Structure 1
């Protein structure tokens, strides 16, 4: 017989304190949790990166079978990559006064200069649940890829973004070859390869 899945009710959060506050925040959590074998764990302490929550937008033109990607510098990968300029899907952080879908529409305009013909949420996921609270909402946006070009980004956020338009196959081949290494982008493009035929039918 399968036992019931654990939930938030099976965690006792004993304390939470801010260890660092800067561009990101680091908290120390002290907690106990129920064990699979029964009973409770000993007291556990973990440092957690409070990054906020984000959206990622898969901008796809089903009429042309093309994907809109953006390129920008990602300085955290400097020491572990041949180049810190990454090819990614449109993405951005959720402010406290915005809904997830509002952020998706805003970032699509800010980073790629595009408006969605239609937009819908695909799923959400946690990119690094072992140490980070960030939740990512992944959206599909149907766009006109012929309008995607040029340089974009907000100057007050020091953004320098270049737009790329690739065929769906070429974009996915960059995943296979390892040229695309951003996890949300890999997830989005894999989803597209699984569902593009349905998207083509819906746009016709």
Structure 2
């Protein structure tokens, strides 16, 4: 049995926060102290925090035809990647105030892929890089008909230029760990899909 961590949020004292940068994203320096495993409290430390917030990512899957939908777009963080800065990804977007993760999933699927799923399966959530960023991603599998999917979408006013690709599941899984999908959300979603593929196909066959 895996027990919960020993300490909770109550075992951290925030001393002060300093805003270092604020535009589309925000960076804070957080001064704090926390309890120690050997007992007592640690000394004051300062940590830079990239304030990113919550996001949603969705892998598109057509269980009837065994097809996977991925999006391709330019990513500045991948400028120096050997394969170049255009990445194969799952559909993703940030939560806006008052939105639920499922609402974001459906909105982003229409904006980025022009696809409306007939069902969403929740996969998991995770912190992308908790050593210095508070970003939390909620992952879904969007079950849909990909027979006629494809094209270029996104919001031009936000500089989006997003191409939708439809691949056979066999082709995707054959290169899953070869670097074609070089981001965590895509890899986690696709590995989950690999594990649940037969179940989703059987469910679709019974409907």
User: Structure 2 vs 1, CA of residues 151 and 8 (structure 1 numbering), >3 Å: closer, same or farther?
Assistant: same
Q: Which residue of 1 aligns with 2:131?
A: 130
Contact 2:123 2:189 in 1 (8 A): no
Q: How does 1:32-71 map to 2 (within 5 A)?
A: 32-71=33-72
User: Structure 1 residue 105: deviation in Å?
Assistant: 0.2
* Residue aligning to 1:9: 10
Once the two structures are superposed, residues 39-71 of structure 1 have per-residue CA deviations (whole angstroms, 9 ceiling, x without a partner) of 111111000001121100011011111110000
Q: Which residue of 2 aligns with 1:79?
A: 80
Answer whether contact 1:13 1:32 (CA < 8 A) is retained: yes
Match of 2:174 in 1: 173
Q: CA deviation at 1:175?
A: 2.2
- Which runs of at least 4 in structure 1 moved beyond 6 Å after TM superposition? none
Match of 1:198 in 2: 199
Which stretch of the first structure deviates more once superposed, 51-60 or 166-175? Answer: 166-175
Q: What are the residue-to-residue correspondences of 1:93-104 with 2, within 5 Å? A: 93-104=94-105
Inter-CA distance 3–116: structure 2 relative to 1 (3 Å threshold) = closer
| Greater helix share, structure number | 1
* SS of residue in 1 equivalent to 2:117: coil
Partner of 1:109: 110
Change (3 A) 1:154 1:4: closer
Deviations 1:19-50 (A, max 9, x none): 10122110111111111111111111000001
Can you list the C-alpha shifts for 1:106-130, whole angstroms capped at 9, x where unaligned?
A: 0011111100111132110011111
Q: Distance in 2 between matches of 1:55 and 1:3?
A: 25
Gaps of 5+ in 2: none
Corresponding residue of 1:187: 188
Is the 2:14–2:33 contact (alpha carbons within 8 Å) kept by the matching residues of 1?
yes
Match of 2:151 in 1: 150
CA drift at 1:5: 2.2
Structure-1 separation of matches of 2:4 and 2:127: 24
User: 1:114·1:147 contact (CA, 8 Å) conserved in 2?
Assistant: no
RMSD of equivalent CA atoms: 1.5
Aligned residues of 1:175 and 1:181 also touching (Cα < 8 A): no
User: Secondary structure of 1:145's partner?
Assistant: coil
Q: What's the offset of the Cα at 1:81?
A: 4.0
Q: Structure 2: how far apart are the matches of 1:72 and 1:25? A: 24
Distance 1:192 1:157, change over 3 A: same
